[in-house]
Amino acid sequence: MRRVTGRMALLVLYSARVDECREFYAALGLEFVREQHGRGPVHYAAVLDGGLVVELYPAGARGETGALRLGFTVSAAEGRAAGERFQVTDPDGRIVEVSVAARPAPPPP
């Protein structure tokens, strides 16, 4: 596979269950802010380390939300050890792979 220079900047998830999805992803550590641009729909946005913006929009007239598999590395997950990997399913049925980051070593005394 040829490596391409660049980075992902925006990921928009359309959902029939926006509030449930917001709570689900917030439990993984994403901090959402309520937004509305002009007369557009109310939606939620979170900015991850590295600048990726994750937005949750109501599916509205789009109907189906579509199949998608996501992966996140989080700093901590309740009941999970650093370095652990696991899968969960969001309220719209998307598979989310979660890796718990190893905690950095404490600074020397």
Residue 55 and residue 41 in contact, taking contact as beta carbons nearer than 8 Å: no
Task: Give the three-class secondary structure for 78.
Answer: coil
Number of residues written out for the chain: 109
Can you give the pLDDT of all 109 residues of the chain as single tens digits?
777 677 789 999 999 899 999 999 999 999 999 999 999 999 999 999 889 999 999 987 565 667 788 898 888 888 888 888 999 999 988 999 999 887 665 666 6
The C-alpha angle with vertex 35 and arms to 93 and 54, in degrees rounded to 5, equals: 45
| Domains in the chain: ranges and CATH | 10-59+67-100 (3.10.180.10)
pLDDT at 4: 67
Q: How is residue 103 annotated by DSSP?
A: P
pLDDT at 3: 75
